[in-house]
Amino acid sequence: MEIYRAHILVCRGTGCTASGSEPVMEAFEKEIEKHGLSKEVKVLLTGCLGLCELGPNIIIYPEGTYYCRVKPEDVPEIVEEHLVKGRIVERLLYKERAVEERMRALTDINFYKRQKRVALRNCGLINPEIIEEYIANDGYRALAKVLTEMTPQQVIDEVTRSGLRGRGGGGFPTGRKWQFAKDAPGDIKYVVCNGDEGDPGAFMDRSILEGDPHTVLEAMAIAGYAIGAKEGYIYVRAEYPLAVKRLEIAIEQARERGLLGKNILGTGFEFDIFLRLGSGAFVCGEETALLASIEGRRGEPRPRPPFPAIEGLWGKPTLINNVETYANIPPIILNGADWFASIGTERSKGTKVFAIGGKINNTGLVEIPMGTTLREVIYEIGGGIPNGKQFKAVQTGGPSGGCIPASLLDMPIEYDTLTQAGSMMGSGGMIVMDEDTCMVDIAKFFLTFTQDESCGKCPPCRIGTKRMLEILERVTNGEGREGDIELLESLAKNIKASALCGLGQTAPNPVLSTLRYFRDEYEAHIREKKCPAGACKALITYEIIADKCKGCGLCVKVCPSAAITGERRQPHAIDREKCLKCNSCFERCPFGAIAKK
């Protein structure tokens, strides 16, 4: 093997690729070549580091120097200064907001320091397209251990003792599920990985599949050994082409190496994995719908029981787990159940990955021990709310979850605490909202989503969510009536009690939780016909405050409908008839002269 004195890791996750990390990588290759360093310095691609907002991100080892927002034009300077002269390029280092200090290593920054990476242990560290790198980081050692030293029952006992619960939303104890699948009668069984990742604001499964695909393959093979299955299927959403590509490469390499297929590691154990792509239906994340979709049918849920562990894919016992759940398995096998159970809290063991986004300074993926408080995540890791705005709420659990207000920020993050607060763990989306976000509008947003994605099989969900949405629409349009809140509450109760699958049963949660904590905002819309956050178009008008307007004309340039007029250096005015309420002028005016009323 070649020895290099330095490695440049270029993040090629989805976020960084979108902000242009491919040309950066090419620039590095060219520049290294030009300096005759090809034998000393190696350029590698890697998966998501978590700080996608600051992409394109790169890390240079052995020092672990982290450079962000790197452009191809910066590359000659980095090579010349850092790699030739050994001097750090200060201006490209990450700047810690709180202390205005430039940090050198990724592991030094607050966003990273407080994390504990178990499921994401290899993301951003190894090249996901090269199996040797996974193997060099303990990859497939857990599978070898299981096949040579443990009985299937011992594997299941270890997983059970670890206390691992499903990371796909429901939080069902993983070991128990494995036991059901093992005990189910039948010769043919299947292992399925749920990579549908439906929560519109979560992307941890995607990052794992893209950044460390082998960990999922290894865990599925372990599960296959434990329950007695020879075949596995990974169901990935169609929106994730890069994850599909990385999985295809990984499966191919694992087969070549004899880590998938017949007679794995010479033990006689047989297991292979196949990919299936989703086609854009959120409900297919629900396990029975997902199985129908793998079978090539419409992805409609069916009543449970029978649970998939008893009657699943093609009627056979089937174990179905989420991507992140699987990613925890190899470390549990290698480090032991006690190690895993020592992380987290009494009823929620281990870590959880969250995708923090919305109105927060550091957006990205974080993996934290269960029991960390929301405040720590939002203020210490996330760096707080930008532009000096007030925190209003944090949404967890996606369309099935709810909004948690400031008064509960010190709550530890656990399955049960989140449920008690009217939200849920869900798959790990965490969207922060500030004073400009209207809670009625957010409830409407989620209900539009679930209404759109309802498969239509059962009336409470199909018709009930539609009724609720109609009410929210009239409330945000300024046509709300007395009694609408009570109507929403009673519809919600009925839908929760009578819908067939989880989608319908949880669809009212965003409305219920916002009603619970932000009832006054609903009342303002209904009684005063006002949107306190200034977000609902029908209830606001744009005006220019003459005293503040300097007549610079910038707003005129961005207005798409020529609604703003005025002489240069004179106060301007908005023609309400023409105004489309697009908010462009509001964002553009450097003097805060535009008001929303």
Ligand X SMILES: Cc1cc2nc3c(=O)[nH]c(=O)nc-3n(C[C@H](O)[C@H](O)[C@H](O)COP(=O)(O)O)c2cc1C
Binding stretches for ligand FES (CB under 6 A): 11, 13-16, 48-52, 55, 57, 200-201
Residue 130 near ligand SF4 by CB under 6 A: no
Q: How far apart are CA 121 and CA 367, in angstroms?
A: 9
Question: Please, what is the minimum distance in Å from the beta carbon of residue 132 to ligand X?
Answer: 29
Which residue pairs from 545-551 have beta carbons closer than 8 angstroms and sit at least 24 positions apart in sequence?
545/593, 545/594, 545/595, 546/571, 547/571, 548/591, 548/592, 548/593, 549/591, 549/593, 550/591, 550/593
Q: Which residue has the tokens 């018709």?
A: 463
Taking contact as CB under 6 A, which single stretch among the options 12-20, 118-126, 161-169, 571-579 is the one that binds ligand X?
161-169
Single-letter amino acid, residue 437 = T
Q: Which is nearer to ligand SF4, 89 or 554 (CB)?
A: 554
Residue 537 near ligand SF4 by CB under 6 A: no
Select the binding partner of residue 322 from ligand X, ligand FES, ligand SF4, none (C-beta < 5 to 8 A, by kind). ligand X
Residue 65 near ligand X by CB under 6 A: no
- Any idea what the Cα angle at residue 502 is, between residues 460 and 367, rounded to 5°? 145
Site for another protein in 317-356 (CB under 8 A): 355
> What is the size of the binding site for ligand X (CB under 6 A)?
22
Question: Please, what is the minimum distance in Å from the beta carbon of residue 43 to ligand FES?
Answer: 15
Give the tokens for residue 449. 């989503």
Taking contact as CB under 8 A, which single stretch among the options 11-19, 71-79, 246-254, 462-470 is the one that binds another protein?
11-19
Give the tokens for residue 253. 């390499």
Question: Please, what is the minimum distance in Å from the beta carbon of residue 229 to ligand X?
Answer: 16
Residue 19 near another protein by CB under 8 A: yes
Q: How far apart are CA 319 and CA 193, in angstroms?
A: 8
Site for ligand SF4 in 439-468 (CB under 6 A): 454-458, 461-462
Residue 455 near another protein by CB under 8 A: yes
State how far Cα 442 lies from the chain centre. 18
Question: Please, what is the minimum distance in Å from the beta carbon of residue 207 to ligand FES?
Answer: 7
DSSP-H helix ranges across 454-534? 459-476, 484-498, 502-506, 509-523
Residues 475/484, Cβ–Cβ less than 8 Å: yes
Residues 563/578, Cβ–Cβ less than 8 Å: yes
Single-letter amino acid, residue 485 = I
Residue 69 near ligand SF4 by CB under 6 A: no
Question: Please, what is the minimum distance in Å from the beta carbon of residue 556 to ligand SF4?
Answer: 7
Q: How far apart are CA 105 and CA 301, in angstroms?
A: 47
Residues in CB range of 101: below 8 A, 6 or more apart: 95
Closest to 400 in 3D by CA, of 430, 425, 431, 370: 425
Single residue of 88, 275, 554, 595 touching ligand SF4 by CB under 6 A: 554
Q: Which is nearer to ligand X, 57 or 293 (CB)?
A: 293
* Sheet containing 391-396: order of strands: 364-369, 351-358, 429-434, 391-396, 402-405
Single-letter amino acid, residue 37 = L
Write out the H or E segment, with its range, that includes residue 193: strand 190-195
- In the stretch 198-227, what mask flags binding to another protein with x, by CB under 8 A? xxxxxx--xx--------------------
Q: In this structure, what is the dihedral angle of CA atoms 543, 546, 552, 558, given to the nearest 10 degrees?
A: 0
Residue 22 near another protein by CB under 8 A: no
Select the binding partner of residue 341 from ligand X, ligand FES, ligand SF4, none (C-beta < 5 to 8 A, by kind). none
Residue 563 near ligand SF4 by CB under 6 A: yes
- In the stretch 271-290, what mask flags binding to ligand X with x, by CB under 6 A? ------------x-xxx---
Taking contact as CB under 6 A, which single stretch among the options 180-188, 316-324, 338-346, 551-559 is the one that binds ligand X?
316-324
Tally of CB atoms within 10 A around 575? 12
Select the binding partner of residue 398 from ligand X, ligand SF4, another protein, none (C-beta < 5 to 8 A, by kind). another protein
Phi-psi category of 338—alpha, beta or left, where left has phi over 0 and alpha has psi -120 to 50?
Answer: alpha
The bridge status of strand 190-195 relative to strand 318-322 is parallel
Residue 231 near ligand X by CB under 6 A: no
Residue 206 near ligand X by CB under 6 A: no
Single residue of 10, 27, 51, 260 touching another protein by CB under 8 A: 51
Taking contact as CB under 8 A, which single stretch among the options 45-53, 139-147, 188-196, 589-597 is the one that binds another protein?
45-53
The bridge status of strand 261-264 relative to strand 41-46 is unpaired
Q: How far apart are CA 514 and CA 511, in angstroms?
A: 5
Q: How far apart are CA 486 and CA 214, in angstroms?
A: 51
Residue 283 near ligand SF4 by CB under 6 A: yes
| SS3 readout for 297-343 | CCCCCCCCCCCCCCCCHHHCCEEEEEHHHHHCHHHHHHHCHHHHHCC
Residue 278 near another protein by CB under 8 A: yes
Single residue of 437, 465, 509, 514 touching another protein by CB under 8 A: 437
Select the binding partner of residue 526 from ligand FES, another protein, ligand X, none (C-beta < 5 to 8 A, by kind). none
Angle formed by the axes of helices 509-523 and 484-498, to 10°? 180
Chain positions contacting ligand X, by CB under 6 A: 166-170, 172, 194, 196-198, 283, 285-287, 320-322, 325, 427, 501-503
Chain positions contacting another protein, by CB under 8 A: 14-15, 17-19, 51-55, 198-203, 206-207, 238-240, 276-282, 293-300, 314, 355, 357-359, 363-364, 395, 398, 429, 431-433, 437, 442, 445-446, 449, 455, 558, 560-561, 580, 582-584, 587-588
